[in-house]
Amino acid sequence: MYPTCPFCHLSKEQILLENELAFAFYDKYPVQQGHMLIIPKRHATTYFDATPEEIAAIHQLVHEGKAWLDKEFQPQGYNLGVNIGYYGGQTVMHLHIHLIPRYSGDIEDPRGGIRKAIPNLVPYPPEAE
């Protein structure tokens, strides 16, 4: 556990899904209704720092998260992604997989998926001063 890592200090109330090695919870700054994050319980900085067992546990929760979101929000599609390192867009240095529900009409033309969709949805919150 890292003292300054927000994902290392989740409250039990925030956790939607859990297994032995991973958690799923709603993103604090969602780009869409139901935007979920899936993380390992152990502090692993990037996808490549996680063990094969942690990756399997995370992917199990990706599937469970999709079932949860299908029931709660009935999205028409999904984006699934991970940012790795500062230049890959990672801002919280604890591995997290984004499971983002997509809805009909959320952008004018969804072709190209994540290549163009995410910047059009919501700006990233400014850094705290």
The residues assigned a catalytic role are: 96
Alpha-carbon span 33 to 102, nearest angstrom: 9
β 36-40/22-26 pair status: antiparallel
Say whether 17 sits in a helix, a strand or coil.
strand
Alpha-carbon span 12 to 52, nearest angstrom: 25
Alpha-carbon span 111 to 57, nearest angstrom: 30
Alpha-carbon span 83 to 109, nearest angstrom: 23
